[in-house]
Amino acid sequence: MTTNKLGLLTTKIGSGVTPRGGQSVYQDSGTHLIRSQNIYNHKFEKKGLVCISQEIAEKMKSVEIMKDDVLINITGDSVARVYLVPDEVLPARVNQHVCILRTTPEFNPHYLYYFLINPITQNHLLSIAGIGGTRNALTKEMLYNLIIEYPDYSTQEKIVKQLNAIKNKIITLQNQNETLEQIAQAIFQSWFVDFDGVTEFEDSELGKIPKGWRIGKIKDVIKIFDGKRIPLSTMERENRKGNIPYYGATTIIDFIDNHIFDGKFLLLGEDGSVVHDDGTPFIQYVSGKFWVNNHAHVIQGKNSFNTEIIYLFFKNLNIHPWVTGAVQLKINQSNLLSIPIIIPNENFLKKINQITFPIFSNLLKNEKSISILTKTRDALLPKLMSGEIRV
């Protein structure tokens, strides 16, 4: 095994820039602009991926993404999240919250990716990112001086091959879940938004709705469990390591030794990361045992509205009118509960629940498999990279 600084194993360590004009220059096609919200350790999130014009892209040539570049988030709540850029998003640039790591020919970029998502490395990165301020940040100097222990290139390739086999299974399941959710969204749009097949309508404060339906508030169809949330500091989580997911506003941020919730719930971002660029909220559909901090509302459906229907409703909702705050965005509980919703008759709810139930059952089955594969990979990572398990 050889030990070296990351800076000596890379030809580039450089953060991106924000295009002049900010969000006003974003467009639907052109060169992709990758931002921190697109990068997760376990996946590349295409929702929220925006584009810039060729003219702007040329001005940002210094932060052009190449094949096999490793990207790492360097500021904010998502600091230290890493991904090996997928080919299908090229050509691309990155903004100032993302750093490009480009390896030398003698160092395998896939090996670097796995080294960086190794739970041991993640804990170290999160630790140094929190030093000296209230905002998490990784500097170029921190990354340059990061110590990496690694084997010869041939062994790197063997380790990568084993880990890629697990990664590819995870990607397949994630793609299946994307398709399942698209199917569920299409059904919801047809039945709940377009009212396909409905012949009789009546006026309401939200426009024409099917006869016999009514307008209510979200408070009529959800239960909210915010009072049970318990935030844990980084140090507290460090002393309570386990295999129970600890959720933040947008994703799993740690694994600890106990849970406060067990079942199917929705986690809707309360502050900080609240809305996507299209106005829809950050919302997570979770199942099983978990813990959650105080940055996400914890929700279940009620009164014949199952939790899955509430999830589909929020995935189609522009939530901007109920968001407050100029710098720190927030959707408080009072505003959340006041959101209007169309309430169908019981017969309709029974039908759509029956149709969507098997879709979400398969989705959760895949999520369970993804969780098992992820835990297997995370258990293998430190052992493969330390040489404890030889390949």
HEC assignment per residue over the chain: CEEEEHHHCEEEEEECCCCCCHHHHCECCCEEEECHHHECCCCECCCCCEEECHHHHHHCHHHECCCCCEEEECECCCCCCEEECCHHHCCEEECCCEEEEEECCCCCHHHHHHHHHCHHHHHHHHHHHCCCCCCCECCHHHHHCCEEEECCHHHHHHHHHHHHHHHHHHHHHHHHHHHHHHHHHHHHHHHHHCCCCCCCEECCCCCCEECCCEEEEHHHCEEECHHHCCCCCHHHHHCCEEEEEEECCCCEEEEECCCCEEEEEEEEECECCCECCCCCECEEEEEEEEEECCCEEEEEECCCCCHHHHHHHHHCCCCHHHCECCCCCECCHHHHHCCEEEECCHHHHHHHHHHHHHHHHHHHHHHHHHHHHHHHHHHHHHHHHHCCCCC
Cis? peptide before 91, omega within 30° of 0: yes
CB 34 within 8 A of CB 65: yes
What pLDDT is stored for residue 135 in this prediction? Answer: 62
| Domains of the chain by residue range | 2-150, 171-372
CB 118 within 8 A of CB 382: yes
- Amino acid at the residue 139: T
Residue 252 has pLDDT above 90, yes or no: no
In this predicted model, what pLDDT tens digit does every residue of 193-208 receive, in sequence order?
A: 999 989 899 999 989 9
What pLDDT is stored for residue 131 in this prediction? Answer: 54
Residue 301 in tokens? 């459906």
Supply the mean pLDDT for the chain.
91
Residue 362 has pLDDT above 90, yes or no: yes
For residue 301, what are the β-bridge partners?
A: 222
Please give the average per-residue pLDDT across 67-75, as a whole number: 93
Q: Homologous superfamily of 2-150 in CATH?
A: DNA methylase specificity domains (3.90.220.20)
Please give the average per-residue pLDDT across 339-362, as a whole number: 92
In this predicted model, what pLDDT tens digit does every residue of 83-128 receive, in sequence order?
A: 998 888 999 999 999 999 999 998 999 999 999 999 889 889 988 8
Q: What percent of the chain has pLDDT over 90?
A: 65
Q: Which residues contact 192 (CB under 8 A, 6 or more apart)?
A: 309, 312, 313, 316, 342, 344, 352
Residue 137 in tokens? 């940040």
What pLDDT is stored for residue 132 in this prediction? Answer: 46
Please give the average per-residue pLDDT across 333-342, as a whole number: 95
CB 15 within 8 A of CB 142: no
- Please state which CATH number belongs to domain 171-372: 3.90.220.20
Residue 45 has pLDDT above 90, yes or no: no
pTM of this prediction exceeds 0.85: no
Taking alpha carbons only, the member of 142, 137, 135, 38 closest to residue 95 is 38
Of the candidate ranges 133-142, 176-185, 298-307, 365-374, the one whose mean pLDDT is the lowest: 133-142
Nearest 10 degrees: CA dihedral of 325, 330, 333, 336? 90
Please give the average per-residue pLDDT across 348-362, as a whole number: 92
CA dist 331 and 322 (Å) reads 6
Shared fold status for 2-150 and 171-372: yes
**Confidence band, pLDDT 50/70/90 cuts, at residue 269:** very high
What pLDDT is stored for residue 209 in this prediction? Answer: 94
Of the candidate ranges 130-134, 245-249, 284-288, 382-386, the one whose mean pLDDT is the lowest: 130-134
- Amino acid at the residue 189: Q
Residue 68 has pLDDT above 60, yes or no: yes
CA dist 37 and 79 (Å) reads 10
pLDDT greater at residue 47 or residue 89? 89
For residue 12, what are the β-bridge partners?
A: 102
Please give the average per-residue pLDDT across 352-364, as a whole number: 93
Residue 158 has pLDDT above 90, yes or no: yes
